[in-house]
Amino acid sequence: MTPEALLAHCLAKPGAWPDFPWGEGPGGHDHPVVKVGPGERGKIFAFVGATGVGVKAGPTREVADEWLARYPGDASVMAYLGRSGWNDLAFGNAIPDEELLEAVDESYRLVVSRLPRGLRPVGWDC
């Protein structure tokens, strides 16, 4: 898995768009976060990085911890957001690409389902 391939998968989701909330390039970030929902009301569902992706890995920390048990060297609790069920998942090691894509899909589903109905993109539950 590459950051570019993962980003393309994220952006193919209904209503998904890239954002650089902390700036782009030097002093900022080289890879975007991916949000769903309109403008400033949009919510992040994936933190794309050079070596992995941050996702909402479960509705609770306990569910997200299943990733840590299955892939102890490649899944970790995400800084600052971890208590809410967010994990960092590494590219190119023990976690199969298909599972990384499924993790992004689940993160998207969890985040969109928490948006007010009027902000959910058409076709999101396909």
pLDDT for res 24 = 66
Q: Which residues of the chain have pLDDT under 70?
A: 23-29, 126
Pull the structure tokens for residue 15.
């209503």
CATH code linked to domain 3-20+29-116: 3.90.1150.30
> What does the block give as tokens for 61?
């920390």
Helices (H) and strands (E) in the chain, counts: 3, 6
Q: Are strands 33-36 and 86-90 parallel, antiparallel or unpaired?
A: unpaired
Residue 65: count of CB within 10 angstroms of its CB: 17
**Per-residue model confidence (pLDDT) at position 80:** 80
Give residue 124's pLDDT: 82
Q: 89 near 67, Cβ under 8 Å?
A: yes
